[in-house]
Structure 1
Amino acid sequence: MLATVKKNHTHCSKREVNVDAANNSIASLEVEIMMAKDLPKMDWYSGKCDPYVILSLNPAAACTDQSDKRTKVKPRERSPVWNQSFIFKPIEFRNADLVLTVMDAENFGNDDFMGKIVVPLNKMDSQGWVEKWYQLTDPEKKTEAKQLSGSVLVRTKFVHSEKNRLDGEVKEIAASMEKLSADMKKITTHINRLEGKEGSRKGSASDDVWLFADFDPDTPLLFTDIEEDQITNNTGGGLVGKHDMCNIL
């Protein structure tokens, strides 16, 4: 058994161990079994069923913790409400399936199979909680019914490791710094224009100083050393005067 698990881990190391589709490390998988509706009638005398859900991963080696996970039994309910949470921790690799098996509890004899839900981990969104109704299926053909009745509402979420969370914050800060640098370049360009290095004309009989500015509504501008009291406003550019025009923020 130990040799088999070790072999699986070795094989899975080639498939990005413990990472999501964006190559981010994953610490655990949280699953909430919310409710079900229209489950099959399993008791001929009452027209009801006593459902519960078994949670597992296939292969089991996808998670180090392989303890039994199942919901409570809901007696005589075809549309039960569970609202129970479970966690698979740690997730070793994502090339696996979350398997939800719905069973009907029996007082005597073996419990009856009602249906199964198989959700590939590598198709799950890793950005937050995902809530979805899943139709029951019978991949092993354990029942005679051509189409199984019933569906289950499930919520899933990948929880990233603390290191990955901090790495994400560092990436966000780096992106903010890059945007700030781009904004500073825009400001520098406008300052150069205001200093007469670009698009300006200086000097006249009355020593007026005028600057031609290409206005950008997203960029703060600073106007100085302008003598005239008038402003010719033009969103595509224009002449500007000093008084009444100091800062455009």
Structure 2
Amino acid sequence: MEDLSLEIYKGTCVGLIGHNGAGKTTALCMLSGLLSPSSGRVLVLGADISKRPEKVLSRINFASNYMDFPGDMSVVEVLLFFARLYSIDNPRQRVEILMEELSIDELRNERIISLSAGQRARVMLAKGMINNPVILFLDEPTASLDPVSSALMRKYLLELKTKTSTTIVFSSHNMKDVDMLCDQALFFEKGKIVASGSPGFLKELCKQENIDDVYIALASGEVVESNL
């Protein structure tokens, strides 16, 4: 990362976009406390997450479809494990609520290894929501999902955004996610943010109506940093 400076406001949804190796996942990991910056600091909920993680970690959560759970555990066992890990009051009740909200109640006794990619993604999202986080960090929430499962994931995230004050920060290559969910998108290139703004603003900036064409314009350098 190089000269990274950003502010994320409470209750907003922010998308980190850019090609592989551009820095978006590194930024996400620093924001969520999985990586520490070599210089500077990362303030999350008013605390330096590298120096005072105990002030922050119980109030945030991270989920990624690239992570996995033990294959021989059932869905309900996995979620109860994380509920207890976060010292949730009445963990079973919290798990029941999430399984109903995310339509995975019928999967409660299914082993993780038997689930489809879409089903695993919903279980992973439930894990991310288990502690009612103030900030939810997601690494490519629709990666490897078919169009139906992707649409379902966007539906759940949109409901989370509109019904709660949860701040959502996610990385993605799926520009439809960004267009439908984000208040702000940050485009990374070589460890720097070279463009930022709402999806509508970026469409105007790139003179494009289609959000995928916005990505292509930014990635190809058609919109140079000096014009931003």
TM range (shorter): under 0.3
Q: Normalized per residue, which structure has more helix?
A: 2
Q: Which has the higher contact order (CA 8 A, sep 6+)?
A: 2
TM-score by length of 1: 0.21
* Higher relative strand content: 1
TM-score (norm 2): 0.22
